[in-house]
Amino acid sequence: MRYLARRFAFYLITAWAALTLNFLIPRLMPGDPAQALLSRFRGRLDPRATEALTAMFGLNNESMWSQYRTYLADLGKGDFGLSFTFFPTPVGTVIMDSLWWTIVLVGIATVVSFVVGTLLGIVAGWKRGSRWDQLLPITTFFSSIPYFWFGLIVLFVLSGELRLFPLSGGYSSWLSVDFSWAFLSSAFKHAILPGLTIVIASIAGWLIPMRNMMVTTMSDDYVVLAEAKGLAPRRVMLNYAARNAILPSVATFTMSLGFVVGGAVLTEIVFGYPGIGNNLYQAVINEDFPLMQGIFLIITFVVLLANFLADLVYVWLDPRTRVEA
């Protein structure tokens, strides 16, 4: 699988680039943010935290290179440092507690949005020039709405005024996190609004490219030939036009996912969802640099993983990538 091997190598490089970026940002930022933070918190911070921070941001006069080696070695051991918002909980633990919430919420919302958006795009492309074209401006409008603004309005109307959904959080606070029916149904209820916000705001990102690709593909010879063969329109639409038109959508999954993740971070904050986006917000507000950096890395790694999954789907969909060369 040369194609997959190449992609995998690329993700390794990207992961390394993200690690290095993460290392360099605090060190190259103007104004020496870590030093500023230390002086601001002087005396109020646990000495161990001060020490950890000093080491982490290279304020102990070690050379850049040896700092970099220590940094990589620590990460290799899964050591992201200590969060000082939740001191002395390690960053890794804080992240792990919230990561699953995000993966489930954003994962399901993305899949739903992709499936619905792509299906609508197929139909809109197939029936172009019909009333289905109205979908374009409507969904574009929703996709231009800031996630957080839309989320807040939805929250205010449906939860605040109509009391249909819970106001915030990921589950009712009196429940314990387990696989009981009570917990799962509560978690589901809490996830509906943030999930819906993500779906509505991101659907145009799948629908419009799919529709345009359908329109383009429909003029291709093999679609014309399929029609000449007297196949049922549904088969021409799905097996010939859509089956090929979907390929670019899967190939550019990367970019679309980037937007969804960005929007999801804001959505979580608005809905007080116990996910990683909310953690990031807490970290930034409290200038909890270790947590902030850890979250950035984890989000990047999860996105890389999702992209690799998209590549697997691509290989499955397009036999041309399976050429052994």
The minimum distance between CB 49 and other proteins, in angstroms, equals 18
The minimum distance between CB 203 and other proteins, in angstroms, equals 14
**DSSP β-bridge partners for residue 90:** 82
The minimum distance between CB 90 and other proteins, in angstroms, equals 19
In angstroms, what CA-CA distances link 18 with 205, 252, 253, 271, 309?
A: 25, 20, 19, 28, 19
Cβ nearer to other proteins, comparing 32 with 79:
32
**DSSP β-bridge partners for residue 82:** 90
Cβ nearer to other proteins, comparing 82 with 226:
226
**Would you tell me the crossing angle of helices 64-76 and 2-28 to the nearest 10 degrees?**
130
The minimum distance between CB 178 and other proteins, in angstroms, equals 30
The minimum distance between CB 275 and other proteins, in angstroms, equals 12
The minimum distance between CB 18 and other proteins, in angstroms, equals 6
Cβ atoms of residues 166 and 253 within 8 Å:
no
Cβ nearer to other proteins, comparing 88 with 146:
146
Cβ nearer to other proteins, comparing 49 with 266:
266
Assigned token pair, 269: 């904050």
Cβ nearer to other proteins, comparing 91 with 187:
91
Cβ atoms of residues 191 and 170 within 8 Å:
yes
The minimum distance between CB 79 and other proteins, in angstroms, equals 19
Cβ nearer to other proteins, comparing 48 with 229:
229
> Per-residue DSSP letters for 275-314?
SHHHHHHHHHHTT-HHHHHHHHHHHHHHHHHHHHHHHHHH
In 3-state terms, what secondary structure has residue 86? coil
> Per-residue DSSP letters for 225-247?
HHHHTT--HHHIIIIIIIHHHHH
CB neighbour burial string for 112-129, b if at least 16 within 10 angstroms, e if fewer:
bbbeebbebbbbbbbeee
Cβ nearer to other proteins, comparing 97 with 318:
318
Cβ atoms of residues 141 and 228 within 8 Å:
no
